[in-house]
Structure 1
């Protein structure tokens, strides 16, 4: 674990309270390299408190040389419009959520005292990046041409939208389309974070298994993650860690 730099404030962080479940043997091997961890943060998601972010950083630095945190800020307002908000109100609410998310991330990074090892970004910062644009275009093409990919992306969008709908309601067509645009904007970081951030390999993590995970990381054809890209569920550990969880030491 990295030392705190002089003048930086470090709050004690629980570095034993999480477990990692890489999706596949290849993902596990990328994890063991310990080169880079990507943490994706969704605006408006109460799971990502500043304390949770600080804990994830402290825990992740036990295994990885560097961490990047990316929070979504694209197509958030468009979703609110499909739920009946006026464009002005939707923009204000989205901007408020995104700013609050950025503040929680900044506070979480500050509390760890590891600003040398952690970088934070808004997703929109990459919108003009040629690699991001290529990967995003590939994802859009796959939505139209790849049945398995499209079905998994739609399932992921429906799950995401369920939190904004009354219980038992399904998203209508405009809502589903907005959800798919939001998710597709994030997909480049599940496909090839190394190319986007200039790292040798990377593990993208989230606290849930996603419908797209087996498509991007478990098949041998169609759109899938780059060889240096891994995925792992990282979640609060149960009292007895799951049998498949990553051990607390890095492979030699």
Structure 2
């Protein structure tokens, strides 16, 4: 759950959490809270202000998740939230993070794919018609590299395999990653699932693909 992503509002989060808890024996919520400062710095925030803003928004997202989970009867919701501080205390995560940075430095194709993913993120935040500079991309890619271990082995990090990393839309980098088109690939048993919240009042033919699309993506690139 990206800290500054308005998609994850309270009601939608509650529905998605209920969906996940009913279908999977183990569920965790990944919040790249402090890592969000890298994107803010790339957008022009001073480092200290970027850290403060990311921490404040991260706490808000953590609280929102815990509120939803308590409403669903989860007794210790904090245990299901993976923020960056907790991840950096997890050996499996730190080993994978080191590998991500190493491959970024040494593998030209992998580096280009990571920078392209960061370009896609910044394109959504910069003024229309503005392209990110090389310096901005190099700063923002630190956020993406912080996420990569969860794509590679979320199950190993959380302690439960096999595993799916769940998001609400398809990402070009991840399609290549899970099709084994890059120099680094996910571990066996790690998949990527696209799950979209259905609009309650929309006719069926106008609905997002939802679980049907999720199953298709899981089979295709998981």
TM value normalised by structure 2? 0.83
The structure 2 residue matched to 1:181, chosen from 122, 142, 145, is 142
Query: Which structure exhibits the higher relative contact order, with contacts defined as CA atoms closer than 8 Å and separated by 6 or more residues?
Result: 1
The structure 1 residue matched to 2:156, chosen from 175, 195, 206, is 195
How many matched pairs? 207
Quote how far apart the aligned CAs of 1:89 are: 2.5
Compared with structure 1, are the counterparts of its residues 174 and 124 closer, same or farther at alpha carbon in structure 2 (3 Å cutoff)?
farther
Task: Tell me, in whole angstroms, the C-alpha distance in 1 between the residues paired with 2:65 and 2:160.
Answer: 21
The answer as to 2:54 corresponding to 1:94 is yes
Compared with structure 1, are the counterparts of its residues 139 and 87 closer, same or farther at alpha carbon in structure 2 (3 Å cutoff)?
closer
Compared with structure 1, are the counterparts of its residues 86 and 111 closer, same or farther at alpha carbon in structure 2 (3 Å cutoff)?
same
In terms of fraction of residues, the more strand-rich structure is: 1
SS of the residue 1:235 aligns to: coil
Q: After superposition, where does 1:33-44 map in structure 2 within 5 Å? A: 41-44=1-4
Is the CA contact 2:3–2:61 (under 8 Å) kept in the aligned structure 1?
A: yes
TM value normalised by structure 1? 0.73
Q: Deviations over 1:87-110 (max 9, x none)?
A: 332232222211211121112212
RMSD (Å) for aligned C-alpha atoms: 2.4
The structure having more radius of gyration, on CA atoms, is: 1
Give runs of ≥4 in structure 1 deviating > 6 Å.
none
Q: Deviations over 1:176-200 (max 9, x none)?
A: 1121100100111110112211112
Task: Tell me, in whole angstroms, the C-alpha distance in 1 between the residues paired with 2:164 and 2:38.
Answer: 29
Is the CA contact 2:41–2:47 (under 8 Å) kept in the aligned structure 1?
A: yes
In terms of fraction of residues, the more helix-rich structure is: 2
The answer as to 2:87 corresponding to 1:122 is no
The answer as to 2:72 corresponding to 1:104 is no
Residue ranges of structure 1 left out of the alignment (5+ in a row): 1-40, 248-252
Task: Tell me, in whole angstroms, the C-alpha distance in 2 between the residues paired with 1:171 and 1:157.
Answer: 9
Q: After superposition, where does 1:25-64 map in structure 2 within 5 Å? A: 41-64=1-24
